[in-house]
Amino acid sequence: MSDELLKGHREAIDRIDAEILKLLNQRAEHARTIGEIKGGGVVYRPEREAQVLARIKSLNTGPLSDEAAAKLFREVMSACLALERPLTIAYLGPEGTFSQAAAIKHFGHAASTQACGSIDEAFRAVESGSADYVVAPVENSTEGAVGRTLDLMVSSPLNICGEVVLRIHHHLLRKGDGVAGILRVYSHAQSLAQCHEWLNKNLPAGVERISVASNAEAARLASKEPNSAAIAGDAAAERFGLTRLAQNIEDEPNNTTRFLVLGGQQTGPSGKDRTSLVVSAPNRPGALASLVEPLSSNGVSMSKFESRPSRTGLWEYVFFIDVEGHVSEPGVARALDALGNVAAFVKVLGSYPQAVI
């Protein structure tokens, strides 16, 4: 009886799958034609992709969650875009880093990812044309700003064209089982800091904590050394065949990293955008307040204000400001004009869609 019921539902699924496949290929044909219309120009349109994903979420009636539906369409768009032209995304490697996971979350699995030895090298890969876009970490909810990415954006000709928000889960990983015999734990300095309390409580005091260039590098070392463990995420655990001795060991349960996507293009408005700026203030009293005033007086909301040494003079600073809206919106445009009159230096790093998934 239950076999009969199962059979009926499976036949329905087979019919639906055939229909979905037919429709997916119709969609892919349109994307391919759009690629021809673009005629070798920029194929990736982040503002359109954000609108497609936001629309899917708003149309969704379940039982699939909005998140699950959007993730499926993320992959559908990735495959459609690859028919126009496959993209290459540079990231801070090696394989298995959170930066790679962010690149795949944003561009889907049809994009190829190119591991680079440093964030500088990943920017250069795009500037020199050997990759199409770079995905670089910019801030973590517990550890704060990633200074190198901020510094590179000041001088790079690339524009920000998207953002990716990734929940970061860290695991204690080892080749084999049990914590007995662990003499050292490798990880990136930020991850060691993010798991500091857990390490204090759960590992003997003598276990050395060694910071290395990336979590994936930590996992690689732990896969080679029997007395070593690593703190890294799922991708690195899988890549190096390590056992998860303890899962989700980050001290802060909402640990999240925000990444930026940068490329050579300017991005049009999606309807729900963010604009990132870097500005410097003349070194005089009240200068800082004068940077914020043009935003509030034009009704522009600020979502980030971060200071960083300017590297041109001792105790001089530049400020990284994120505001809601697109440079083409009148309020943002007026605020930028007014900012230009009071700041010593203003550079728009990009206007781009806010993360949808």
Residues near ligand ISJ (CB under 6 A): 31, 34, 43-45, 48-49, 52, 77, 80-81, 84
- Minimal distance, residue 163 CB to ligand ISJ, in Å: 16
First-to-last C-alpha distance (Å) of the chain: 41
Exposure string for 206-217, b = 16+ CB within 10 A, e = fewer: ebebeebebbbb
Tell me the β-bridge partners of 347: 278
- Minimal distance, residue 164 CB to ligand ISJ, in Å: 15
Nearer to ligand ISJ, 78 or 140 (CB): 78
- Minimal distance, residue 262 CB to ligand ISJ, in Å: 16
- Minimal distance, residue 38 CB to ligand ISJ, in Å: 7
Nearer to ligand ISJ, 161 or 237 (CB): 161
Yes or no: say if 170 and 230 are a contact pair by the CB < 8 Å rule.
Answer: no
Nearer to ligand ISJ, 48 or 167 (CB): 48
Nearer to ligand ISJ, 15 or 85 (CB): 85
Q: Which residues lie below 8 Å from residue 295, measured CB to CB, with a gap of 6+?
A: 301, 302, 321, 323, 335, 339
Yes or no: say if 143 and 190 are a contact pair by the CB < 8 Å rule.
Answer: yes
Yes or no: say if 169 and 248 are a contact pair by the CB < 8 Å rule.
Answer: yes
Yes or no: say if 218 and 232 are a contact pair by the CB < 8 Å rule.
Answer: yes
Measured distance CA(279)–CA(340) in Å, rounded: 9
Nearer to ligand ISJ, 73 or 319 (CB): 73
Return the residue nearest ligand ISJ (CB atom).
80
Nearer to ligand ISJ, 75 or 337 (CB): 75
- Minimal distance, residue 47 CB to ligand ISJ, in Å: 8
34: alpha, beta or left? (left if phi > 0; alpha if psi -120 to 50): alpha
Burial of 158 (C-beta count, 10 Å sphere; 0-12/13-18/19+): buried
- Minimal distance, residue 112 CB to ligand ISJ, in Å: 16
- Minimal distance, residue 260 CB to ligand ISJ, in Å: 17
Nearer to ligand ISJ, 10 or 32 (CB): 32
Exposure string for 258-287, b = 16+ CB within 10 A, e = fewer: bbbbbbebebebbebbbbbbbbbbeeeeee
